[in-house]
Amino acid sequence: MQKYFITKNDLENFRITGDDCHHISTVMRFKASDRVLVSDGDKSYLVSLKSISSNEVTFDIIEERIGNVELPVFVSIFQGYPKGDKIEEIIKHGTELGANQFTPTLMKRSVFKLDPKKKEAKLARFNKIAKEAAEQSYRDRVPLVDDIIELKKIDFSSYTHKILCYEENAKNNELTNFKSIVSNLNKNDKVAIVIGPEGGIDDSELNYLKSLGFISASLGPRILRTETAVFYCLSAISYEMELKK
């Protein structure tokens, strides 16, 4: 079933406004009495559509949807800014896999150069991708894509667990650090995961992150691309914490 994230104000007025109306009327071609899910980011509701136009859709609430589809821990991805459009792929699939926050991070080996004039438009686009992926995967919350920022300006002090994905650990056959942390996570822990760009992490960045309490870890014996590392981390946390034997 299709899910739409709407504002609290629109929820109180039993209506959907903005781009989603076009999606409902023209892309999905929904009709009156068709059912969709709506969420204000806190709670989700099954609703029946009443009137449909390209700029406003109204609905009746049928019932509140109870059920937790959010990862039991808060996972924030600090992604060394990669080449091309990879950051969009990371936000899209990372949202499906349950990440709560993405911070595009400028690191020494990031090829990307930030054009300040384009920053707001980029962030708006990234957050739209996160919203659509959250709707597609039936999430209750839309992850935040935070400001594009330099590594050394990030405040990691609120995180209970800090993991640095580091390919040299894979080359040295280190296979325990990641699982030791993930298998001991508790509900509501806050996990920061730093992943380097294509060229990896610079030595000074490695030492800086270690000084902040980050544990460097491999994700198995193969060398993963930067975007694949994000998918691995989130999948493994879900497998460990959400699936049962």
Smallest gap from Cβ 111 to a copy of itself, in A, equals 16
Cβ atoms within 10 A of the Cβ of 30, count?
Answer: 17
Question: Which one of 139, 141, 161, 162 is in contact with a copy of itself (CB under 8 A)?
Answer: 139
CA dist list (Å): 79 to 19, 38, 89, 105, 212: 28, 30, 12, 5, 17
CB of 195 to a copy of itself, least distance (A): 14
* Contact call for residues 98 and 239 (beta carbons, < 8 A): no
CA distance 156 to 147: 15
Note whether 131 binds a copy of itself by CB under 8 A: no
161 in Cβ contact with 209 (< 8 Å) = no
**Residue with smaller CB distance to a copy of itself, 33 or 68:** 68
Q: Provide the mask over 222-241, with x wherever binding to a copy of itself is found by CB under 8 A and - wherever it is not.
A: xxxx-xx--xx--xx-xxx-
CB of 153 to a copy of itself, least distance (A): 31
116 binds a copy of itself (CB under 8 A): no
* Least distance from a copy of itself to the Cβ atom of residue 172, Å: 11
Q: Which is nearer to a copy of itself, 56 or 198 (CB)?
A: 198
Question: Is 215:163 a contact under the CB 8 Å cutoff?
Answer: yes
| Residue 86: CB minimum distance to a copy of itself, A | 11
Instruction: Indicate the helix (H) or strand (E) that contains 60.
Output: strand 56-65
173 interacts with a copy of itself by CB under 8 A? yes
Binding mask 179-218 for a copy of itself (x = CB under 8 A): xx-xx-----------------------------------
CB 160 within 8 A of CB 142: no
Q: Residue 74 or residue 178: which is nearer to a copy of itself going by CB?
A: 178
Contact at 8 Å (CB) between 230 and 194?
no
96 burial (CB, 10 Å; 0-12 / 13-18 / 19+) is middle
Stretch that binds a copy of itself, among 8-16, 63-71, 73-81, 111-119 (CB under 8 A): 63-71
CA distance 90 to 109: 18
CB count within 10 Å of CB 228 equals: 15
59 binds a copy of itself (CB under 8 A): no
Is residue 221 within the footprint of a copy of itself (CB under 8 A)?
A: yes
The label of the residue with tokens 């990031």 reads: 110
Positions touching a copy of itself (CB under 8 A) are 67-69, 93, 96-98, 136-139, 173, 175-176, 178-180, 182-183, 219-225, 227-228, 231-232, 235-236, 238-240, 242-245
